[in-house]
Structures are given as C-alpha cells and as structure tokens.
Structure 1
C-alpha cells in the first residue's frame, strides 16, 4: 500500500494484522497454500521525515534509521522522529582511482578486493590489478560504469553496470540484459537479502533479482520517489529504501488466495458500495486512501454485475451464506437500474440520490455534448442526461451502452443458475431478463432512450451493421445480440427468443458475423473494453447453446477472440476462455459433434475444428500467477514503462507507439503496470487510471478468482 502521510501509514499495519489473522470476518472456507504478497508503505515529510532527499538507510537491531544530509531519523511506531547522534560516514575505499578511472563501488570476495569503476571491473590481489571481463556463451563484456558490486548470501559475486547485471557462480558468469529480463541499468546502489536475493537501486526504481528473475518496483505504487539512494534489508526480507522524497518499505507477507479474497471483499464493502452499486471511489487527497468518498462511474451497472457474478461463483464454490447475500443485493441493484427508467427494459447506467453533490446535468449539458461531437459526430446531444425518477427521489443516467448490457446478461445467467433457488427468486430474474430483451426486440434490436432515439452505443440492428458508422461493430454486436437471446431463452424458457435468434441468423447472418467476434485491425478500431464485452458475451452464448453446428462456429469465434488477447496475462479473460474451452472438450469427448452430418457442403469443417480446438490453448499457470501478483493497493497510479530495457514495442502499422510487451512476448507482470480494471490493455506501457485520485474495486481480483475456483481451474 502506498501512503503519503503519517495518518496513512496506519492502514498498512492494520492490513498486515488482518492478513496474519487466522480467521477473517467474511471467510468460512479453508485456506490453501500461501505465497508471498509484497506490501509497500511510503514515509515522507508528513510521516516526520525531513522534506526531500534521504541519502542513506541502515538497520540497527533490525530497526531502520534514515539519514539526510544533516539529520538522523528513527522509526517509532508509524512515525519517524529526529534522533541525536553522529551521522556515520560511509567506509572509504583505500583506492579512489584505478587506471585513471573513479572507483564507484567495492566489495571483498574470496579475500580479494573487487572494485567497480567508470571504466571497468577489477580484482586486486596484493598489488596486482586484474581487469575482469565477464563472458559466457552469449556475451563478452568490457564493463563500463560498474556502480554496484555485491556478494550475496550464496557467496556469488554480483555487479551492476551499463552493459547489464551479472554474477559469478564458481567459475561461470551469468549475464543479463533486457533480453534476459533486466528492466533498467542506471544503477545507484545495491543490497543483499536472504536466500540469494539481491536488490539494485536505480535512478528510476528498484530491482529485485530472485532465482534469475527480475522484479521491478517503481512509481508511487511502490516507492515515494523513483530515485533510490540506498537500500537496507531486514532479516525477514523487508526492503527499506532511501529515496529523493522519503523512505520506502516493501514487506514480503505470507498470504493465501482466500485471505486475499477476504481482504478485497472487505475493501469493496467498505469503500466501493454506494446504495448497492459498485464503482471506484474518489480520493479527495491524491494517493490518500483514507480520504475516499463515493463516486459514480459511467458503467455502474456493469461493475455491479461483475461483483455480483464474483459473489455468485463464490457462493456456488464455497456455500458461504454471505456470498448469497451480496449476490442478491447486486441482483436487486441491477434490477433497480432497469425498473427506474422511462420505459420497461431500458437499464440506466447509474442511479444517484436527488441531492447528489455534483451538478451532473450541468456538467453534461448541451455545450458539453456539442464539444464532444467535434471528436465523435455520433455522440448524442440528449438532455437531461440524468432524468428524475418517477418518485422524484433519484436521478438516473441515460444513453446506456453495450457495456451495461454485457454486464447485465453475463450476471443474470450466472445468478439464475447458481444463486436463485426459490420460485420467487427465479421469477425476478426471468422478469428483468424478459424486460430488457423485449425492449431490444421491440425497438428493432436497439436501446431506445427517453428521447425516442437509439443510444450512442446501443445499436444491434442489421441496418447499423450495414452502414459506414456501424460496420466495425458488426462482429461484436451480432455475437452479443445472439448471446442476449440465448440467455433469455435459458432463463425464461420462452421459445420466442430462439425464433428471434433464428431470424437473425437466417435473414441477417448474425452467426456468420460472430465468427469475427471483435475488431483486430486497424489499431484505431481496437479498444480493450471490447475484449471484455466479447468474452463475457461468449460465456452466455456458448454455455446456453445446444445446436452442434452453432457450437462449432462459436468455439471458432472464441479461439479467434482469445488469440488476440492470449499474451496479456489477464486472469479474467483466461478464466472465461479456459472454462468455455473445457466445456467444448467435454462435448467432444461425448462425441457430441459426430454422426450428425454437420456442414455437408464441407465435410472437413467439423472434424478439423474439433481437432484444432479440442483443448484450451492457454497456460493455466498464468491465472494463478496473475491472481497472486495483483497488488493489494488498487489506487490508479500512473505507470510509464516505455523506458524499460526488457520490452519490445508493438510494430503493428498505425499502432500507438506506447504499446508493447516483455521480451518473452507476454505483457509485463500485473504489479508492474498501471492495470487495475478488467477492461484495460495489458500491452499499454504507459497507463494512468486516475493518477492517484481514485481507488478501484477489488472485483479486479474477486471475479477471476472465484470464477476460476468454481470452474476448477485453480485450487483455493
């Protein structure tokens, strides 16, 4: 957790106490295998330190001392206090220069002095000076600017230089550049930790090396400032950092996935539940989590539905009665969005009380709409954007989009199957699903607003798909409309929705369009939230389809959509894909597609598709990795990774120049990018989700976690 004041240091210790508590408020499940979750705390002038640069950090009896140019500070509880005493000078090397080059670092290794200089790495034996030229099967380096030399707990000699990082293990050099995962090479300091772990400080963050894997800690998420002047490591592996704006602490904490889920459920309930609707919270003071206040999003319905789906999966997987209470509440909130609007079946985006402090209709008035139309001519000039409810007690936001529909239908099918038990509960789901679906059918597959016109992003009609304005939405929206109808048929049992879907297929080829379930090129047509809408809608489309021919086509669409995001390491998208692919595997094992003369005009299509798509092609380990690495701190920090050495920029013509991935072809780890919402691009190297002014809801972890547990993709 990043905190920016003395007052805000306290929550991190409360969090650590929470994580170490054997039984938590929300949990009734047994805990699984633990893993290490790194938790960050920042101490600045508001924590009692001097303003500005901390030059050094040291541990005395395992307690930190921070040094500025003129003062010493010791940590007392959560506050730093000035301490009287002499500021120790760093031990000076007997040598200041070697072969005319300034000495930058030194260490004793095997009873000989190892010295790093601006022009190389040297070993001194008595008066003999020997230049070391690290080399292996890939590299042969004449080092420059060797700023760091260390000997780790396994007696390996390390260096940090402009060429990269390396260590000598016996007689063999192990050398690392960006190609091998080194994120950055402007080193300032270093320290050794237990179990052979080494930390390097740089002018832009800190790097941990463990078992030849590099972890990069930079930005306000992890440190009070990116310039690291010194590092000290405690016995338990806690790392302390002296930076240009205070002291940072990164503490390794043992935790299980179920404990992490408990934490995030409490986080949502405490700071992200507004009248039953789930959304980000606004921070009145930047980075200050305790300054939170309720906020509204553009898609409260979708985010509430996703949290509700998480709790539905939780209830089905664990039987926890609290999960049913929360899923029920989310369902009632989503239904309220539908009930409050101008016409049956039109879901509002947001509901706020009439005395909401923001002047929402003034903010979204005609002048705003006209300005917006300069960049989006299809933008609606609708007023009021927040009409009053019929009882006059609330306002609801209109111009609802496909995002909201994707969330509603995704949740309703899951809630109906896993949570609704009584006839009354099931009828409530049937009523709201029927209302929304009938609204779309009644208006020619459109969401029609209180002005009698289609919303900006709510058009699923054949006319729209065959226009210059909607051709690029054809694949996604055709597939989504078929998914909505499948959910409606499954929930209500009404065959009219099958007939409607059959009409869309036979007259307008919606199932053919669905084979291209989203846009992939050109880059200007590709937006990351379409990945979310696509995969969430495929979940209902495939799970509730029974026709073998259509299942084959939809499985092809799933693979096409998946391949486009398969390198992004998004646990939610991975979980949707693998659960649906596993369902297909089960059907294939049951010979569901054999002996039915499918696609007689091309008898090879069915067997070849069954063979090529028989099993899921994802790496299941990435789901677990992603869930473990999701930070506990979901403040939306600005994180710019474009300076890194271990990335490859996306060479796609017309692509945003700040898009790219790690040299292994996959997105950067989730805790090293500014990614705190499901529907974001894992390849965005420069990302800000509110620049520290918002905290985002723990659904980011909860939905993929409980979905994966329910579908037996991971063990809790």
Structure 2
C-alpha cells in the first residue's frame, strides 16, 4: 500500500507487541557465502481423486511414475513456472498388459505389485515373486529382495530364498506395511493397532495402539516409527517399546501419509504437506506455489527431489544446492528478462493465472519507487563487481528515471510513470494520466512522497558509488532538480494543477499539525531532513543546508524524527478525523520510506553530533522491526551498526525467499502449529514470523505477518527491489562476502 492509496488505507506506527521482541542483542559480523538448499516446485496436473498410498514411486535417477486405475503415468511438459500434465507411460511395452495394483521405491528402483506377482524391470527383470493374493494392493520390501504383501485382509511373505508360503489373516484391516532395516523387521498398521510381523511364528504381535491411524514410516536417526492419524502423529520407540503422546502442534493434523528422507520426516495431509526438520523447524508446502492440489496422497524421494502426489496432480519439490551469489545471478537475469518496461522495474501481470506467456508489463503508482530500489541494487552491485553489463543496465534505468522529470511540463516534478499515448483508458488510474507536450507520450501525475524519497536515495547511491561521469552527473542533477522544486515551493511537491499532491507535503503547517503520536509527523520530518542533507552533500548549495537547520531548529523536526517508536500509535478520540484515519494501524509503507531515507539521514549527516542522534533514531526503529526479520531493514541497519544488526535473520530472509515470485494465493490461518495473537495495532498475527517461502510474495512495504492472501497467480513481482536490493547492499557493506 502506498501513500497514494488514500481509501481503505491503514497507517502508521505504535508499540510493537512486546512479548514477541526477539531479544536485545543482535549479531553482527560477516556472512561468508556457502551453499544452502533452494527449493522450488515443478507441477504436473491431472484429476487424481481417489488415489492412495503406493500410487507413487521413483528410482535413483529421479524417474517417477504415478499409478491410476492400473495404468502407469509419468510427468510431461513441465518445467519451473510452466505447468505440465501426467501422460501415459509407455516406456516398457509389456507393462500395458499388467494389472498393476501398487508401486513402490525399493533399493533405488521402482517395483510393481500386480494381481500375480511382485516384479521389476530393473536388475535385468530378475525380481519376480509370485503371490496368492489376487487383490493385493499393499507391499513392502525387506533387506534381501523379500516382500510382505497384503490385500487389506490377509498377509503373505515372499522370499526368493524359500518356497515356503507364509500367509495369515489379519485381525483388523491392513492399511500399511513398513520395513525396519536396523531390527530387520516388518511392521504392520491397522486403523487402531501397530503390529510386529513374526515370520517364523506366522503371526502379528500387537505393540501399540491409537485411533484412526493412517500411515507409518521408519525414522532411522532415532530408531523409531512415526505413526500418522487423522488427528496428528505419535512415535514408537523400538528399543523401549514405548509410544509418545499424540503430537498435534503441526500445520495440519489430518495425515494421509508419512515418509522419511535422511533426517527429515515428511507428512502428506488433507491440507498440504510439511517436513519436520532435525532442528525442530517445520517447512510447510501448500497451494499453488508448491502443489497442484490440497490433498497430498503419497510421497516419494528422488536424488534431489521430493515428489508429492495430490488429488490434482504431481508436485516435484526440487532441492537444489545454491549459494546466495548464484541466487543473485538468477534474479538479476530474471529481472532483466521479465520485469523491465521502458527501463522501469515493473510487475508482470498475467492474464491467465500462472502462465508467464500471457504476461504484460503494466504501469504502477510507484514506477519511480520500485525502479529506485532496483536501480540502487545495481549501483551497489557495480560498486562491488565493476561489471560493465551492470553499468549498461544502470544507464538504461537512470534514463527512465530522468524522463519522469522531462516528459511532463512541470519544472522539477517527477511523474509517477509514462507510457506511449493512446492507452490511458487501459492503464492504472486513468484519471491521473495527463497528455505530455510530446504527442507520442502520456504521463501520470499525483506523485507521492514514497516515490520522492526513493528518487533521492537512488541518486545518492549512484552519485557516490558508480564511477561513471554521466551517471554521477545525471544523478546529482536530478537531486538538485527535485529538491530545488520542493524548497522553492515552500516544502511542497506541486503538480500540474498548481496544487500540492496528496502526500507530497513537508511544510511545517502540515507536518506539525499532527499529534506527536501520529507517525506522519515523525516520518515526514525524518525524510525531508534526509533529502536536504543529501542535496547539500552532492550540490554544496547552502539553501538546502539552511532549510534543513531551519526545520530542525525552528520547527522541531529534529525532535519529531527523534521521537521513539514506542509512543507512535493511534491519534486518540480528541484528534481530527484525518489524524485518526492516518493512525488506524501500523503502516509498513512508512517503514519502507523511513529505511530508504536512512541512507541519506545517516551517511550525509551535517555533523557528528547529528550523526549520533540519527543512529539512535534508526536503531530505535530497527528494534521495533526486528520480529519481521525483513532482510532489507536488517542490512540497512548494518549501515549504522555493523556489529549488531541481526545478520543471521538477514541471511535467513535471503535464503528462505522463494525463487517463484508468482503471486499465488497462500493460506496459513488454519495451521495448528502457530501461536495466534489477539488483534493488535501492529497487526502482528503470530508470535513468530513465517519464512518467506510460506507466505505471499510481498514487497518490503507489506506486513510480513499476513497469513493469507488471494493472489490467484495473476502477477509476478520483480526480485529487483524485493531481493536484489538487500543482497547487493549487504555485499557493498561487506556483511555478505
């Protein structure tokens, strides 16, 4: 939400929910880039309602098959961000004649259970064990190519070493079988009992019980069984023969299937899948970023993949080893390929959900702001790498920023956006568009304060860090042009109609009209001092310095900007309705404006005394923001306090951020593992923020505690401002090496 979005807006700041503050000591230092696991999904769709466990299997080469109505299917046509289908698998001609009733992964290969035998095409087809259960649909392999199979009522043990028939009836319906390679035992699960299979005694020995049991897996790191049910799971310690209480603090308790991979435990539920990691953290996979359907029916593992079979198709969760530098390279290329419109950093809107090929780059209220943040990332990148291709891109986007000033007839006024003429009715907010003096172009008016602070921020970064005469001189020229317009117009941004824009107001009559607890009083004071300092630093013009000191000394702007965040809140009943509207809730767009402005506020402070005060104000704000674990806010804080800025949380944000930036719908409010807070001013919904991989794709001006959103796959946000800015700023500040 931006300052221009007047109606329905919730704004400004108050005390953070104190119980959630992360602690008072942040970690500073430097992160040395090492590989981590980056996950993303490849989706194949098909209506598969009615399938169950043992409908999915894969081999050591990650070849995967799905079994539906005795027929084998495999993925076709899918790649990252391009959905495919499941097609008939005709790889082996004789398979079409087989009545395959279950499939499984065994010793790195796919094995099959039909109405007559257990067999495989691997091992030169030598695995072939006949059985006597024509309706068999459950099977599990032992250590030596021996298998235990069931039709749900009876069990039969098959071994290549003996012709003895070990067959018995089960006291209850058989749901699943699990082999334990440490004890070399088969375990058998019914809806209410866990049994040990005694081959010699030809019997089942009851060892544990529960209600509405559904699935079983062996977890070797703890030598235990994981038993799923429709209301959670419990563990069975094999050595002590004890079972744990039911575990219900998990994302969803209606468990269909459980499986293990190394030290992870994976669960498929009726509302997505989740993995329990060895550190106790949970990774949740739900809705279209990760799955084609909600109901996860079966799980299998490839070499570097996790396959999740759902009622609407197959998801391949690719687990790719990657460094942050490699992720940055991917996002740099992706931004240039999909998100640059006339040099602007833009959203790609999709006219068919999820389909990139239907995308169109559209204007936005904040073309200037989003481009400022992307362009700043490229400025930091060039300062670190001196890459000539990055300099080319800097010039392209800086030309777009420059043209925001020249496309309209108002001296020193930056347009929101511009577009070729003749399309106003198809653009966002048609009533804000004006015809340019050049009949080939139209431009968007009503520019907001969040764009203005973005302009000054990026021009300062480029002027200081990019060793190119045109870039440096153009950036300084634009700082001078914009700030001269504001100063000459009595601290207002004046539009084509001769009136201030709705939010372009830094005059004391406006700023000091707010009660001290209304955030705009603090914000506007902080931003304008930052901008005037920046203008003076690069132009040397005394008018900017004089105006800044006038505002600080005579109009209380220093006091305003130093006001601690703990007193920022709602205006109160005695305040005017405008102030009350502006302080209904914490506004994260304002956080973005503060932090973007902190570059100029701290770096170009007029003197050391002010610099120390500004650091105090910035750190105070950061303390309020810490629970969000926003990588940009943390890394910007390293500018003023490199020894204490939450380095670990910064890296967590960068690593956990998805590379699929399609604005899919997400849901988390149903989760049973979250501690939900009472409604509060901050609109913090949970005690701990969820990782970016589990929440909506959002820019830094959004509430990172939002649990649900209805993106519906209709757009793709640019990584240029979301990810590349914190990464490359971190590289420039040398907190990421």
TM-score range, shorter chain: 0.7 to 0.9
Show CA shifts across 1:305-325 (max 9, x none). Answer: 111111111111111111222
SS at match of 1:107: strand
Which of 180, 205, 213 aligns to 2:272? It is 205
- Equivalent in the alignment of 1:619: 646
- Equivalent in the alignment of 2:488: 442
Give the TM-score taking structure 2 as reference length. Answer: 0.76
CA contact (8 A) 1:232 1:240 kept: yes
Which of 678, 681, 685 aligns to 1:660? It is 685
* Offset, 1:652: 4.7
Show CA shifts across 1:249-275 (max 9, x none). Answer: 111112222221121111111111111
Distance 1:491 1:666 in 2: 42
Distance 2:701 2:246 in 1: 33
- Equivalent in the alignment of 1:230: 298
More helix by share: 1
* Offset, 1:36: 1.6
Which of 603, 613, 617 aligns to 1:553? It is 613
CA contact (8 A) 1:105 1:146 kept: no
CA contact (8 A) 2:34 2:323 kept: yes
Which of 382, 386, 389 aligns to 2:436? It is 389
- Equivalent in the alignment of 2:580: none
- Equivalent in the alignment of 1:215: 283
Higher mean displacement: 545-554 or 344-353? 545-554
Distance 2:398 2:484 in 1: 19
Higher mean displacement: 536-545 or 573-582? 573-582
SS at match of 1:325: helix
Which of 663, 682, 688 aligns to 2:704? It is 682
Distance 1:176 1:529 in 2: 43
Show CA shifts across 1:13-54 (max 9, x none). Answer: xxxxxxxxxxxxxxxxxx953222112111114xxxx57665
User: Is residue 421 from structure 1 mapped to residue 468 from structure 2 by the alignment?
Assistant: yes
- Equivalent in the alignment of 1:88: 101
Q: How does 1:222-371 map to 2 (within 5 A)?
A: 222-234=290-302, 236-356=303-423, 358-360=425-427, 364-365=430-431
- Equivalent in the alignment of 1:601: none
Distance 1:101 1:477 in 2: 71
SS at match of 1:687: coil
Q: How does 1:581-592 map to 2 (within 5 A)?
A: 581-582=641-642
- Equivalent in the alignment of 1:452: 498
* Offset, 1:163: 4.2
RMSD: 2.9
- Equivalent in the alignment of 1:26: none
Which of 147, 155, 178 aligns to 1:107? It is 178
In structure 2, do the counterparts of structure 1 residues 629 and 73 end up closer, same or farther at CA, with 3 Å as the change threshold? same
CA contact (8 A) 2:292 2:314 kept: yes
Distance 1:167 1:495 in 2: 76
Distance 2:348 2:401 in 1: 19
Distance 2:709 2:564 in 1: 26
In structure 2, do the counterparts of structure 1 residues 198 and 450 end up closer, same or farther at CA, with 3 Å as the change threshold? same
* Offset, 1:675: 2.8
- Equivalent in the alignment of 1:146: 213
- Equivalent in the alignment of 1:693: 714
In structure 2, do the counterparts of structure 1 residues 516 and 488 end up closer, same or farther at CA, with 3 Å as the change threshold? same
Which of 496, 500, 510 aligns to 2:547? It is 500
- Equivalent in the alignment of 1:17: none
Unmatched 5+ stretches in structure 1: 1-30, 134-142, 366-384, 583-614
In structure 2, do the counterparts of structure 1 residues 157 and 178 end up closer, same or farther at CA, with 3 Å as the change threshold? closer
In structure 2, do the counterparts of structure 1 residues 177 and 461 end up closer, same or farther at CA, with 3 Å as the change threshold? farther
In structure 2, do the counterparts of structure 1 residues 530 and 650 end up closer, same or farther at CA, with 3 Å as the change threshold? farther
Show CA shifts across 1:174-221 (max 9, x none). Answer: 889566xx322211112232x233321011111123324321111100
- Equivalent in the alignment of 1:158: 226
Distance 1:387 1:517 in 2: 41
* Offset, 1:577: 1.2
Which of 622, 631, 641 aligns to 1:571? It is 631
Distance 1:149 1:390 in 2: 72
User: Higher relative contact order at CA 8 Å, sep ≥6: structure 1 or structure 2?
Assistant: 2
Distance 1:580 1:176 in 2: 48
* Offset, 1:289: 1.8
* Offset, 1:94: 7.7
* Offset, 1:691: 2.4
Distance 1:99 1:434 in 2: 85
Distance 2:281 2:63 in 1: 28
In structure 2, do the counterparts of structure 1 residues 53 and 247 end up closer, same or farther at CA, with 3 Å as the change threshold? farther
SS at match of 1:406: helix
CA contact (8 A) 2:216 2:259 kept: no
Give the TM-score taking structure 1 as reference length. Answer: 0.79
SS at match of 2:287: coil
Q: How does 1:36-185 map to 2 (within 5 A)?
A: 36-45=37-46, 55=52, 56-59=55-58, 62-69=62-69, 71-75=71-75, 78=78, 80-83=86-89, 84=96, 85-89=98-102, 90-91=137-138, 93=150, 104-109=175-180, 110-112=183-185, 114-116=187-189, 118-119=191-192, 129-132=205-208, 143-152=210-219, 154=221, 155-161=223-229, 162-164=231-233, 166=235, 168=237, 171=240, 177=247, 182-185=250-253
User: Is residue 638 from structure 1 mapped to residue 665 from structure 2 by the alignment?
Assistant: yes
- Which of the two has higher C-alpha Rg? 2
Distance 1:705 1:548 in 2: 28
> Between Structure 1 and Structure 2, how many residues are aligned?
608
- Equivalent in the alignment of 1:487: 534
Higher mean displacement: 515-524 or 403-412? 515-524
Distance 1:260 1:510 in 2: 41
Unmatched 5+ stretches in structure 2: 1-31, 79-84, 90-95, 103-136, 139-148, 155-168, 571-582
In structure 2, do the counterparts of structure 1 residues 71 and 482 end up closer, same or farther at CA, with 3 Å as the change threshold? same
